[in-house]
Amino acid sequence: QVQLEESGGGLAQAGGSLRLSCAATGRIFSNEVLGWFRQAPGKEREFVGYITWFFGSTSYADSVKGRFTISRDNAKNTLYLQMNSLKPEDTAVYYCATYYSGSYRDPRAYIYWGQGTQVTVSS
Q: What is the pLDDT of residues 15-59, one digit of tens each?
A: 999 999 999 998 777 678 999 999 999 999 999 999 999 999 999
pLDDT score at 27: 76
Q: Are strands 92-99 and 78-83 parallel, antiparallel or unpaired?
A: unpaired
Q: What is the pLDDT of residues 43-53, one digit of tens each?
A: 999 999 999 99
Q: Torsions phi, psi of 103, nearest 5?
A: -70, 135
Biggest alpha carbon–alpha carbon distance for the chain: 40
Beta strands in the chain (DSSP E): 3-7, 10-13, 18-25, 33-39, 46-52, 58-60, 68-73, 78-83, 92-99, 110-113, 117-122
